[in-house]
Chains A and B, each alone.
Chain A
Amino acid sequence: MSTFENVYLAAFKASLQAKLEYKVDLVVGVVTAVLLQAASISFLWIVLRNTPALAGWNGREIVFLFGMTAACLGASEVLFNQVWLLPQYIVAGDLDRLLTYPVRSLWFFLLTRPELHAFGNLLTGAVCIVSSMWWLHPPWFVWLGLPVWWVCGTLIYTAVLVVSASLSFRYVGPFAQQMMIAHNLLQASRYPLAIYPNWLKALLLLLVPFGTFHYLPGRVLFGKTAALWGLGAAPLATVITLFIAHWAWNAGLRHYESSGS
């Protein structure tokens, strides 16, 4: 590993170790993240009490979507959570220091504030995915695909957050509500997209492609379509969203004005 890569790893490890010093926070964070996921699952429970399936997806298949969403959310929070603080950094002029470092500013910025409650989301996601796979007995190769879709989902979600956070460079203010829209869209993708109106379906597959890392592969895996391209849509969407995120970040930095005194 080159020294350059070591800098990122060392910065991440140092930030994680600092966070792990707060043991009560770790426990509270994990428990509450699990509680939040349980709140969503309780809604699914209510829904499935009133209907056996949603658009042909049964409860076990929907649990797979829930699991993938929670796991990607958790991974993004543990690795790249600092993006949520970008608006505050811009207002306070705190990006100045980062921009003087000999590093790629976006990745260094993202990596240096892991969030402890992420472990609760990762745990819930893993439990949901494994339970769903256990019940559904998918072919063996699915177990190989899962890590790929998980990584893709994490990167897609983070890239969308970076794009929405970059709006703060132009519309300066200490608010992160635009990122909550991205977050809520991720939550919407926990249900089969077929239940949504066409505009929302198109939004979640093309513009904010959260449907590519679990819904499209799920359709193939659970025998709802024979079109195999759904298995490979996530890597393509990842490359495109990462490219757009880089562009948005760089365009935003060109607008950045320090708050200096």
Chain B
Amino acid sequence: MTRRQDLLADLGTLRALFVCAVRASFAYKPALLMSVLSAGFSYAIPMLVWRHIYQANQQGQAIPARALFPYLLIAGCLNFAFAMNVEGRIGQRIRMGLIATDLLRPIDFQMAQLAQALSDGLFNLILVLPIFGVTLLFWRSSALPRDAAALLAFCPSLVLSFVILFAVSFIFVQASFVTYSGYGITAARNALQLTFSGLSAPLVLFPPALRAVSQWLPFRHTIHTPVSVYLGWIRGVELWAALGEQLAWAVGLLLLGRFMLARALRRFEIQGG
């Protein structure tokens, strides 16, 4: 087979994995409803806290309400869409030794997991569309991209933010080689994501110390950067710099994940027979 045929075959396999994962996600409909309700509650809490603050004191806030609330809603929608089950899925395969058969398959393990994570993302994106519709009803043009350029820049930013979050999760899940429970891995990544991504507030509202730490971590590029691009808060040279940083984080973290997996597999033992 030529290299082109090989590539097409690989892409076909990834597509099949993607479709299977989407179908599996739609299998349990009551769970879907509950998961949307549950996410709705969790995103409503910070919004209600901010609503109270802005009702009590509209003046003197660093960001006007018409900018803050669309930001929070879109950040919530994005975070929901990014809820990929990477830690659960890969962690289980590592703990049960099933990764051995995964590695025998003629497809790159990390890319196969990324394809499945993309299916999670697409599935969640569909679920989150009604919530985004409500956002538009409330905030109208404030919840739309600032202009066509912002929308255009948002597309690569969105993809890169997804890849960054996947790559971070892929790195964290390597801890499954030494732990029995998967909780700690998911929770640790989640805690950092909650704190530093800008999910509950734009970074400009952060205390200086917290903002300084967030500048050195990849998490702000998973929520704050894409939402800022979407709303047109980042433009011109800053926009290109932000996209460049996202790309560098995405590539760097993916490579680091591959390196760590290769190292971990060297001393990994599976009971067999």
Contact = CB atoms under 8 A, between A and B. Distances in A.
Interface of A: 22, 24-25, 28-29, 31-33, 35-36, 38-40, 42-43, 45-47, 49-51, 54-55, 115-117, 171, 173-175, 177-178, 180-181, 184-185, 187-188, 191, 195-197, 200
A58 to B, nearest CB: 14
Given A22-B181, A24-B178, A28-B179, A184 B191 contact: no
Given A116-B181, A197-B48, A200-B48, A51 B53 contact: yes
A55 B55 CA distance: 11
B129 interface: no
Contacts of B184: 25, 28-29, 31-32, 117
A22 B181 CA distance: 9
Interface stretch (B33-41, B111-119, B138-146, B244-252): B33-41
Nearest to A194: B52
Nearest to B208: A49
22 contacts: A25-B180, A28-B185, A29-B181, A29-B183, A31-B184, A31-B188, A36-B191, A39-B192, A46-B206, A50-B205, A51-B56, A51-B57, A173-B30, A173-B31, A175-B35, A177-B34, A177-B37, A180-B42, A184-B38, A191-B49, A196-B48, A200-B48
B49 A54 contact: yes
Contacts of B178: 24
A69 B191 CA distance: 17
Contacts of B53: 47, 50-51, 54
Nearest to A51: B53
B201 interface: yes
B191 A32 contact: yes
A40 B45 CA distance: 11
A230 to B, nearest CB: 21
Given A28-B188, A50-B61, A195-B48, A117 B183 contact: yes
Given A32-B188, A50-B62, 16 more contacts: A24-B179, A29-B181, A33-B187, A35-B188, A39-B195, A46-B207, A46-B210, A51-B56, A116-B181, A117-B183, A171-B30, A181-B34, A184-B45, A188-B44, A191-B45, A196-B48
Interface bracket on B: 35 or more
A86 B59 CA distance: 49
Interface of B: 28, 30-31, 34-35, 37-38, 41-42, 44-46, 48-50, 52-53, 56-57, 61-62, 175, 178-181, 183-185, 187-188, 190-192, 194-195, 200-201, 205-207, 210
A115 B188 CA distance: 16
Nearest to B29: A173
Given A54-B49, A54-B53, A177-B35, A46 B200 contact: yes
Residue among A31, A47, A117 having the largest count of chain B Cβ atoms under 10 Å: A47
B190 A36 contact: yes
A43 B198 CA distance: 10
B41 A184 contact: yes
Nearest to B61: A50
